[in-house]
Structure 1
Amino acid sequence: MIAFGTYDAARHPRTAVLVAGLRAHGVKVTELNRPLGFSTAERVRMLQQPWRLPALAARLLRCWAVLVGDAVRHRRAEGRPAAVLVGYLGHFDVLLARVLYPRSVVVLDHLVFAGDTAADRGAAGLRVRLLTGLDRLAVACADVVVTDTDEHRRMLPDPDKGVVVLVGAPDEWRAPRAPRAPRASRVEPAPSLVELVETRVSTSSTGEADGGLSVVFFGLFTPLQGAPVLAAALRDAVAAGAALRVTMVGTGQDLPRAREVLATTPGVTWHDWVEPGELPALVAAHDVCLGIFGDTPKGLRVVPNKVYQGLAAGCVVVTSDTPPQRRALGENVELVPVADAAALAAELVRLGDPAALAEARARSARGRDRIRPQVVSEPLVAELRRRDAL
């Protein structure tokens, strides 16, 4: 089997989880991958702003030229692959895969619908229709389409093509190493990651260190994540007497509003960016990892990476009570009503109690093995075996 495309497994570990899961089931997977180098936000911005498309096209064609050479050499050495997995954000890559491998089972990891994502970030009209057309073209080129939730599977023109595979988390999130400290983006000094880890160790399972309960949020601050909601909840929890140490990581359209809400709240540290290899240790240094809280249509259909990653890193995960999140991990995460800052604040106050935090950690620990690559990839392995593609 080949994993094919221009995916970036460091920035977007979804494809890495699928590849690791397939290998754990004894599947030989050869990666033919030439990362494009654009983030998800940059790709969406390019698709929303047509004048940026030449830069995307030029880099894509360069990567494809190398991929064609890689494919030819692999075919000569190994023959035709039975199956080809096109990695995350492969809306264009699947077109090339279909041309290069017309008789192979082409699997598209369709974690993101371009039209749906653009609409969630404020686009409308013709641009959304064009991106929705791109989604349909990409899906038409695939024999099997992997989605992360049943809600997304039902969005496919032919839902029977879909296979639901939970996002999961790479195994490195289970044993994160202490990396270099990122630079904070506000004047007050930010604790280093080593200091955060030492603080986590000193709290043991009580959350009673000098700084109280430690909480982390990381993301792109898009509407589905509900950053203004969680910012209001953090502010109100502190105002209610909760002792919180909060780390906020990322940038995006809702960041200014979140900063405004938390401007006078003590104990909040901001990081614009943390390297992917450093993020697991940063998250693991906290008691609580926050998920998503927005009430956008897309927000009600997803289970985000951060929920799986926070769980794998040993945190208590607090996220919104949506059907896909309850179905996937409801027994192992703490659920609060969607877009309800008061409920989230109350939950954070509750978790400041050592007994409540210990109980939540026990629930979290019971879910860690359910999100390993080998486990979450089982539906895809079963489908490929059904098609005699393994």
Structure 2
Amino acid sequence: MIVAFGTYDAARHPRVGVLVDGLRAHGYTVRELDRPLGLSTAERVRMLRRPWRLPGLLVRLLRCWVLLAGDVVAHRRAHGRPDAVLVGYLGHFDVVLARLLFGRAPVLLDHLVFAGDTAADRGARGARVTLLRGLDRVATSCADVVLLDTPEHLRMLGELAGSRAARGLVVPVGAPQEWFDAAPADPTDDAPADAAATDDARPLRVVFFGLFTPLQGTDVLAEALAAVLPRAAEDAARGGRALEVTLVGSGQDLPSVRDRLRGTPGITWCDWVEADDLPAVVAAHDVCLGIFSATPKGLRVVPNKVFQGLAAGCVVVTSDTEPQRRLLGDHLELVPPADPAALADRLLALRDPAALVAARARATTGRDLARPAAVVRPLVRLLASRGVRP
């Protein structure tokens, strides 16, 4: 039996849910002891960057920890000691408590985000970044196994503390089942003869969702859309295929993106979509946009939305980086990082019916790589090597 433990919020941060679902798909019993802290990644980073706000975070955290300690006592009485403990995403503090409460049970930390790296990517400098890197060191020292999503992050673990690299295990992010469930049905051979023509006549629907941060490269996206949408509108006026873009989310770069795209035709803005509704919103589009920055962090990740877009049945356009190309390159539409002209050209090209059909075929063959049961296979192998079996 495995215990998933911490103050994680699977609705906001679905990674831990993917791990739990994947382990269960392989026959493991996973019991969740979870008291959500109720803070997003951005809110946690803001608190850590503003020391005067830390007391509020600590009070909230301690309240959750008291409840978790009671949960662990009750669980031990009912089920005994678990075979392993999985500390959910953003568990930098929770892993310390897990180490104290679960004794010699193996502790697995899902370290999807390095606190110091994330703060630096969002503009922090100096002592704050040093403090957060220290937090990363403490967190990873408390875990027997550190789960990371790319080999690039595994190398970062070694740079953080050389001896810790041996504790690292690469487990891709994946997508929750509800994203697969939201995908439209595949077209059938017996569809009406005019169905394809009707589909080709409607606008190409493109969606971006996420935080407007440097990692996402939304400044690059804004430049691309400012160039491509007026051209697409002119083409549509002459009978060509229109282009419609939905931008979902908020973040530090949103004001500059709005300024750059003010007056640009074909954009729908949406500041917020509930987590339960987001898969269906994305699945209603033809193309899902990934990330486009050339920041150090942007070159090291395969973001959630790439897996989620594939799962939802979309064509995924994202940056041509080593981790994305290595894992999913045959199934993605890759453009050079930080290149708005290339992104604009790719969106224009996808309005062509034949190009879109070919891109959909490539995306469809990669969907299974995002399933929970697929992404946890390295973890299942590691657990089995340590005698932890279903």
Q: Distance in 1 between matches of 2:280 and 2:132?
A: 36
Which residue in 2 is equivalent to 1:45? Answer: 46
Cα offset, 1:208, TM superposition: 3.0
Given the alignment, which residue of 171, 185, 204 partners 1:165?
171
Q: Distance in 2 between matches of 1:205 and 1:169?
A: 32
Q: Distance in 2 between matches of 1:48 and 1:207?
A: 49
Residue identity matched to 1:37: G
Which residue in 2 is equivalent to 1:297? Answer: 296
Cα offset, 1:39, TM superposition: 0.6
Which residue in 2 is equivalent to 1:310? Answer: 309
Residue identity matched to 1:322: T
Residue identity matched to 2:133: T
Partner SS state of residue 326, structure 1: helix
Cα offset, 1:237, TM superposition: 1.3
Residue identity matched to 1:386: S
The 5 A counterparts of 1:193-342 are 208-210=200-202, 212-241=203-232, 243-342=242-341
> Is the Cα–Cα contact under 8 Å of residues 105 and 389 in structure 1 kept in the other structure?
no
The 5 A counterparts of 1:23-34 are 23-34=24-35
Which residue in 2 is equivalent to 1:188? Answer: none
Q: Deviations over 1:321-367 (max 9, x none)?
A: 00000011101010000000000000001001000000000000001
Partner SS state of residue 173, structure 2: coil
**Structure 1's 214 and 3: CA in aligned 2 closer, same or farther, altered over 3 A?**
same
Q: Deviations over 1:144-179 (max 9, x none)?
A: 00000000011112212111111000011011299x
Which residue in 1 is equivalent to 2:190? Answer: none
> Is the Cα–Cα contact under 8 Å of residues 289 and 317 in structure 1 kept in the other structure?
yes
Cα offset, 1:240, TM superposition: 2.9
> Is the Cα–Cα contact under 8 Å of residues 207 and 357 in structure 1 kept in the other structure?
no
Determine what percentage of the aligned residue pairs are the same residue: 67
**Structure 1's 139 and 316: CA in aligned 2 closer, same or farther, altered over 3 A?**
same
Indicate yes or no: 2:97 matched with 1:105.
Answer: no
Residue identity matched to 2:115: A
Q: Distance in 2 between matches of 1:302 and 1:45?
A: 21
Q: Distance in 2 between matches of 1:103 and 1:203?
A: 61
Which residue in 1 is equivalent to 2:132? Answer: 131
Q: Distance in 2 between matches of 1:282 and 1:100?
A: 41
Partner SS state of residue 216, structure 1: strand
Unaligned 5+ segments in structure 2 are: 185-193, 236-241
> Is the Cα–Cα contact under 8 Å of residues 34 and 67 in structure 1 kept in the other structure?
yes
Q: Distance in 2 between matches of 1:329 and 1:52?
A: 40
Q: Distance in 2 between matches of 1:8 and 1:174?
A: 20
> Is the Cα–Cα contact under 8 Å of residues 229 and 266 in structure 2 kept in the other structure?
no
> Is the Cα–Cα contact under 8 Å of residues 207 and 352 in structure 1 kept in the other structure?
no
Cα offset, 1:207, TM superposition: 5.5
Cα offset, 1:204, TM superposition: 5.9
> Is the Cα–Cα contact under 8 Å of residues 6 and 93 in structure 1 kept in the other structure?
yes
Which residue in 2 is equivalent to 1:199? Answer: none
TM-score normalised to structure 1 length? 0.92
Q: Distance in 2 between matches of 1:235 and 1:23?
A: 45
Residue identity matched to 1:269: T
Q: Distance in 1 between matches of 2:201 and 2:283?
A: 16
Cα offset, 1:206, TM superposition: 7.5
For these two proteins, the number of residue pairs brought into alignment is 366
Give the RMSD, CA atoms, in angstroms: 1.5
Which residue in 2 is equivalent to 1:54? Answer: 55
Which residue in 2 is equivalent to 1:119? Answer: 120
TM-score normalised to structure 2 length? 0.92
Which residue in 1 is equivalent to 2:147? Answer: 146
Residue identity matched to 2:8: Y
Q: Distance in 2 between matches of 1:239 and 1:295?
A: 26
Which residue in 2 is equivalent to 1:186? Answer: none
> Is the Cα–Cα contact under 8 Å of residues 311 and 370 in structure 2 kept in the other structure?
yes
> Is the Cα–Cα contact under 8 Å of residues 33 and 68 in structure 2 kept in the other structure?
yes
Q: Distance in 2 between matches of 1:207 and 1:50?
A: 54
Cα offset, 1:318, TM superposition: 0.1
